[in-house]
Amino acid sequence: MHLAILLAKAYNTHTKWEKAERVVLNAFDRYFKRLGNDNYDIIKLMGILGSTYDGQNRLVDAERIKYGVFMQHKKLKGLEDNDTLIAAANLAVTYGLSGEFKLAHLWHSQVLELRKRLNGEDHPFTIYVMANLAVANDDLGYYEEGERMSLKVVEWRRRVLGDKHPETIAALSNLASNYFRREE
């Protein structure tokens, strides 16, 4: 099972969506009846399938699956668990991809508040969620708030990861996008 999880994640990382989907669905066929819905590896596979569907632009399927993953994590581990918060953030990303910007903003905002309380302002997970919320702010036209958050993300990533790190470059790109969208 763990090999299937690693392989599916690797395929997703390299945008091999169909291969990732096949690996996940084969693993479901082999393990689901025996392990059931509450098994952590099954839930992890479901999350990977949701991300795969994001990549395939099957956003309705991705949203349904990711919501189920979030609910399973919440049921098994509670709202303040790391995996539950990751599932909530992943669902928010899908909402943003599907143009449901208010929902994306709401979910990212709630996850950010929990992350700040649980992990602090300077934790990598908090910064990751802040970066996503900055984009959600831009999507809704809240450019000043998006800029403020994007600047904080850029500053943190430069300080911690360096100027040439891909996540720093992505943060700079999001900030540039904020400025560009403001001019439209």
Residue 33 makes CB contacts below 8 A (sequence gap 6+) with none
pLDDT of residue 170: 95
Domains and CATH numbers, the chain: 1-98 (1.25.40.10), 102-184 (1.25.40.10)
Question: What residue spans of the chain are helical by DSSP H?
Answer: 2-13, 17-35, 40-55, 59-77, 82-97, 101-119, 124-139, 143-161, 166-183
Q: Which two tokens stand for residue 2?
A: 């763990």
Q: Which two tokens stand for residue 39?
A: 């098994």
Instruction: Give pTM, 2 decimals.
Output: 0.90
Phi and psi, residue 21, nearest 5°: -60, -45
Closest C-alpha to 127, from 156, 104, 151, 107 = 156
Report the distance separating Cα 7 and Cα 75, nearest Å. Answer: 27
DSSP element (H, E) containing 165: none
Q: Which two tokens stand for residue 143?
A: 């450019």
Q: Which two tokens stand for residue 38?
A: 């509450």
DSSP element (H, E) containing 78: none
Looking at residues 105-132, what average pLDDT do you find?
A: 95
Give me the amino acid identity at 67.
Y
Report the distance separating Cα 170 and Cα 84, nearest Å. Answer: 25
Asked whether the predicted pLDDT for residue 125 surpasses 70, the reply is yes
Q: Which two tokens stand for residue 120?
A: 């602090």
Tokens 């956003």, residue located: 59
Report the distance separating Cα 120 and Cα 180, nearest Å. Answer: 31
pLDDT of residue 123: 93
How does pLDDT run across 58-96, given as a tens digit for each residue?
999 999 999 999 999 999 999 999 999 999 999 999 999
What integer best gives the mean pLDDT of the chain? 94
Tokens 């949701």, residue located: 50
The pLDDT-based confidence of 1 (bands split at 50, 70, 90) is low
